[in-house]
Structure 1
Amino acid sequence: MDQELLARARAWVAGDPDRDSAAQLQAMVDAGAEEALRDHVAGDLAFGTAGLRGAVGPGPDRMNRAVVIRATRGLADHLLATVDGARERGVAVGFDARPDSERFAHDVMSVLLAAGFTVHAHLTPTATPLVAFAARRLSTAAAVVVTASHNPPADNGYKVYDQHGVQITPPDDRLIAEAIAAVGPAVDVPGVGDGIEGVHELGEEAMAAYVAAITADEVVAAPRGDHPSVPLVVTPMHGVGGGPVERILQARGHHVVRVDGQWEPDGRFPTVDFPNPEEPGALDLAEATATDVGAAVILANDPDADRLAVAVPTAQGWRRLSGDEVGCVFAHHLLSRTGGDLERPLVASSIVSSARLGRIAAAFDARHEVTLTGFKWLWRAGRELADQGWHWVMGYEEALGYSLGDAVRDKDGINAAATMADLVVELAAEGRVLVDLLADLDERYGRWANVQASVRRTGATGADEILAAVDAATRVDGDALGMRTIERVVDHRAPTPDAPAWRPTTPLVVWHLSGGGRVLVRPSGTEPKLKVYVDLPLDDGEEAGLGDVLAGRTVELLGIGD
């Protein structure tokens, strides 16, 4: 047995206030399970893109109460050192419906209360956008949401927003990580026990304020006048979005049809293998329900309701729209509606999302800004450009995330569902459907193939394999793809002169192709995956399947295919 590893495990057991978790790790020590100990103890769960996220289990490299307690103490120390009036402004807290989320959230509240912070909290499972909204509305010093979003059922996470209601960006993430590292054993961190006395509950009043804010937003105002009653199928995917989405849609006069088997929050996700609406099979129940009622659209949120998937009926069955299609639909719809009412309109997209948004923006004399992947970067651009007089209309990333209007400075699957429902009934009033609008966009802005492929690599060597594939992307021959020539390779791991704050260095390699297309290669920020994106304008006669061919060929060239 590695003695350093053994000492680290014993120290964690001694410092873990959760005796069940400590006992699990002690059992590994007693059994001499060196490989398991190395997996749980050799490293620390990294505080990064979305705060913390990983499998629940014992040890510093898993999500557990000790990790949450130390993270919260580190966050508290960081806020006290960097945010004026942090204690009085307080922290907004929320949690999703995963099995450990409420317990972890109570630990967050306990540590913050003991540190003298005001705590504003949802005391029942709630949607992530509602917590982000509360942080901005109440001008808190920060917000914490205990959620693993669309990750597998075994995972949980810890998501942090800054004092502007935006996900943390550098240098805050690094400074918080350093503050966490300086915290001693979790058992020594002061708390106030299991009670949550003194917490300011975010209940009905908070929900009403959110509804009022998105209803009043000049960019995403509800449809004017009467509209037809069109069946809209809604699923929260066993998550927390069902109630808020249904409430807003019904208040706007929409005909909501629930997917009953997925309606109640259940962190075990019993009807899906993977609670991500992008995954194959995830919408099977919704499609069956929608077929039965003749629905015009399926609106599916991920478990914490910050993302939205959309599916529409066609003669060949249900068609799931890509995030790029939905993002471009929203941009065209909202820019068309606002017309000349907004001065200096701004739309934004992540660098791996479709460049077609730039064509849409140009048609409406709007600015199109490109950021790194993640809404922390999209809204960093939105917030800083607002200071220069630009008016945020919408931003999106191809992974089903949309921020419409500026009530919530993060992706918001609830507001997106309401806006899509409004659009569907507006089209129905004209005798049209979403497929007709998509055809209009193709005619006006050109046909595009947007494809994402991913390769999962877990275990001790997984991260190294993924980074090696990114490195390999810089050495591919220009003619290797066959169908398109790689004319230029841009390695975003190297500094780019004059890059804005929202496009710093990142592990991303981009192939710029003949004909204006791109292939992008990057590691996922939240899962052990290599991601490949194809963003390709199509010439006359070219089929959209060309994007899939290029994605598959790219994976082969990088030497990481299954």
Structure 2
Amino acid sequence: MDASGLKEKAEAWLQADPDAATVAELRDVLARGDLADLADRFAGDLEFGTAGLRGVLGAGPNRMNRAVVRRTTAGLARYLKATVPDVTTRGVVVCRDGRRLSAELAEDTACVLAAEGIPAHVFPSLAPTPLAAFATLHLNAAAGVMVTASHNPPEYNGYKVYWGNGAQIIPPHDKGIADFISRVEPANQVELLSPTEAHARGLWRDVPDSLGEAYLDAILKLRVHGRGSESLSIVYTAMHGVGGVWMERALERAGFRNVHPVAEQHQPDGAFPTVRFPNPEEPGAMDLSLATAERVKADLVLANDPDADRLAVMVRDGSGKLRMLTGNEVGVLLGHYVLVQGPTRRSKSHVVTTIVSSTQLGDIARELGIAYDEVLTGFKWIANRAVEREKQDGTQFVFGYEEALGYCVGTVTRDKDGVGAALVFADLAAWCESRGKTVLGYLEEIQRRFGLYVSAQRNFTFPGAEGAQVIGRIMEGFRRSVPSRVGELPVRTVLDYKKGERLPPSNVLAYELEGGGRVTARPSGTEPKIKYYFELKETLATGEPVQAARARGEARLQKLIDAFIALARERGQPEVGT
């Protein structure tokens, strides 16, 4: 688009933008004549999909702002009225985290819903994402909206949508909502009721404190050991997010008396002053947790991301050094724990993971005779598959996880729950302590029986519209030129999930390798990244130290990674990329 076309689009946006702050921001961009900035802001509309909306805050249709959220909410409301006959009775949950503009976006959401005649069940203060998922079920709402950008950097925000079954939306609802959004009038013409008027008409309903109490009671029942610990030393970080008060209350009620919050990160702060990227997986994000743990000599470190739907864990190894568990290790530990030590009926138990997570949970489930499913990446697929099988087969969902630190124990929520999962992991650690074992000792028991799986992920970021084209070229390059081997390992099976043969169509490629390894490539659904996932299996010899088998497996894994990255370079991946 040429300069005159960009300026024309910008002027049209200014006429319809109801927010003085973003109007001033866009006028400044125009005054500076920054055509590259304008081109990115007006490259298209921020796409509404199964993850809802997520993007950088700012003016323009390709940004998160009040204009976009008002139109999105009007489209959501009209879709609900067209598809859910009792939506005006059941209402919609509205929840927010502590990010910049979250309060305004949540208020706009509630006010637009009210103007459409739909009651908004509004959390009166900050709350974690698991509470929004829980409330949608607990209040029998027709849908739920959570204003959050989860673990993204501070310049981001987002808009996550739950369906009435408590799970995030999947097709056809995402496309149906997007279609209704496309027909919504300009943002400054979208009708809103003021909070005062919405309250007066009974269309703004504050979520009561009793709902939070019900959530805490429910996750406390997920524990297996159930005895807490006076001695187990736990460090916890909320990562400047909204999980702190909930995690403290849960651990205290569970009988954990030796808990040490990371003080610098405990209060909500959307600027995330101590971390550039508030994701426990990112380098440096856990430094303050590590320092606190060494100071108090903690046995266990638990970390939530800012909206508390993810969980990271650090434990002591044999030398006394703290080690971060991988998402797959946490998933296998929690899955094995609730399946083998828990009270559930195995004949009806059901566990679910994703096509980019470790295959080990599936191997455990098959040996134990437990129903198992692999689904596409994203917890929406895990939750909806659990609901589907419960209806079809009468199974009891007991655990699901994705390697990106997302875990769900039981059916308290139909989404990943970093608070509930952290409580169950603390319970697991206390159980290990009661047996005179460490968490890593328990993991070794599992590995000696089911094999040692080593896994890794490599991400490459290519921002902006040009970056999306780069990522597209890489994926299509692999489709045009299919590798017969990755390094020394022959490719046994190629799975192109874009064809929709085993699962709904998705832009994912997987290579199953001789000997049980797997490599998977996929563009991120929420960030400008392409992600590669790697896994190999090692069998421990009788009496072999687990460290020796791990070192052997990780050396093989690094060769696999290097070989695949070389293949990606041959297929269009630039040498640069963070």
User: Where in structure 2 are the equivalents of 1:209-228 lying within 5 Å?
Assistant: 209-216=214-221, 220-225=222-227, 227-228=229-230
1:508 matched to which residue of 2? 508
For residues 210 and 477 of structure 1, the distance between their equivalents in structure 2, rounded to whole angstroms, comes to 49
Q: Which amino acid aligns with 1:527?
A: E
1:545 matched to which residue of 2? 555
Given the two structures, how large is their TM-score scaled by the length of structure 2?
Answer: 0.93
1:468 matched to which residue of 2? 473
Q: 2:374 matched to 1:373?
A: no
For residues 343 and 75 of structure 2, the distance between their equivalents in structure 1, rounded to whole angstroms, comes to 46
2:106 matched to which residue of 1? 105
Structure 1 residue matching 2:328: 3-state secondary structure = helix
**Deviation readout 1:490-525 (Å, 9 max, x if unpaired):** 2111131xx3xxx21100011110101110000001
User: Where in structure 2 are the equivalents of 1:325-404 lying within 5 Å?
Assistant: 325-338=329-342, 341-387=345-391, 388-404=393-409
Distance change in 2, residues 1:545/1:241 (3 Å): farther
1:232 matched to which residue of 2? 234
8 Å CA contact 1:90, 1:118 repeated in 2: yes
Q: 2:169 matched to 1:165?
A: no
How far did residue 26 of structure 1 move?
A: 2.4
**Deviation readout 1:408-429 (Å, 9 max, x if unpaired):** 0000000000000111111111
**Deviation readout 1:140-182 (Å, 9 max, x if unpaired):** 0100000000001100000000111110001110111111111
Structure 1 residue matching 2:14: 3-state secondary structure = helix
Q: Which amino acid aligns with 1:236?
A: A
Q: Which amino acid aligns with 1:229?
A: S
Q: Which amino acid aligns with 1:136?
A: L
Percent identical pairs in the alignment equals 42
Q: Which amino acid aligns with 1:385?
A: R
2:533 matched to which residue of 1? 533
1:425 matched to which residue of 2? 430
Let me know the Cα RMSD of the aligned residues. Answer: 1.6
How far did residue 556 of structure 1 move?
A: 2.4
How far did residue 546 of structure 1 move?
A: 2.4
Q: Which amino acid aligns with 2:12?
A: A
Structure 2 residue matching 1:558: 3-state secondary structure = helix
Segment of structure 1 superposing worse, 263-272 or 1-10: 1-10
8 Å CA contact 1:228, 1:428 repeated in 2: no
8 Å CA contact 1:476, 1:557 repeated in 2: no
Gaps of at least 5 residues in structure 2 are 541-548
For residues 190 and 151 of structure 1, the distance between their equivalents in structure 2, rounded to whole angstroms, comes to 31
How far did residue 4 of structure 1 move?
A: 3.0
Distance change in 2, residues 1:510/1:27 (3 Å): same
For residues 344 and 309 of structure 2, the distance between their equivalents in structure 1, rounded to whole angstroms, comes to 29
Given the two structures, how large is their TM-score scaled by the length of structure 1?
Answer: 0.95
2:43 matched to which residue of 1? 42
How far did residue 343 of structure 1 move?
A: 3.9
For residue 313 of structure 1, the aligned residue among 307, 312, 316 is 316
1:201 matched to which residue of 2? 206
2:254 matched to which residue of 1? 252
Segment of structure 1 superposing worse, 518-527 or 187-196: 187-196
8 Å CA contact 2:220, 2:254 repeated in 1: no
Segment of structure 1 superposing worse, 335-344 or 148-157: 335-344
8 Å CA contact 2:224, 2:341 repeated in 1: no
For residues 545 and 414 of structure 1, the distance between their equivalents in structure 2, rounded to whole angstroms, comes to 35
For residues 504 and 461 of structure 1, the distance between their equivalents in structure 2, rounded to whole angstroms, comes to 27
1:68 matched to which residue of 2? 69
For residues 37 and 225 of structure 1, the distance between their equivalents in structure 2, rounded to whole angstroms, comes to 58
1:270 matched to which residue of 2? 273
1:182 matched to which residue of 2? 183
2:520 matched to which residue of 1? 520
For residues 85 and 43 of structure 2, the distance between their equivalents in structure 1, rounded to whole angstroms, comes to 37
2:192 matched to which residue of 1? 191
For residue 492 of structure 1, the aligned residue among 493, 497, 520 is 497
Distance change in 2, residues 1:434/1:369 (3 Å): same
2:290 matched to which residue of 1? 287
**Deviation readout 1:192-249 (Å, 9 max, x if unpaired):** 2364634221242111011122233xxx235245744211111010000011011011
**Deviation readout 1:453-505 (Å, 9 max, x if unpaired):** 10000123101111211222235564552231222222111131xx3xxx211
1:13 matched to which residue of 2? 14
8 Å CA contact 2:227, 2:254 repeated in 1: no
Segment of structure 1 superposing worse, 186-195 or 73-82: 186-195
For residues 276 and 229 of structure 1, the distance between their equivalents in structure 2, rounded to whole angstroms, comes to 29
For residues 88 and 275 of structure 1, the distance between their equivalents in structure 2, rounded to whole angstroms, comes to 38
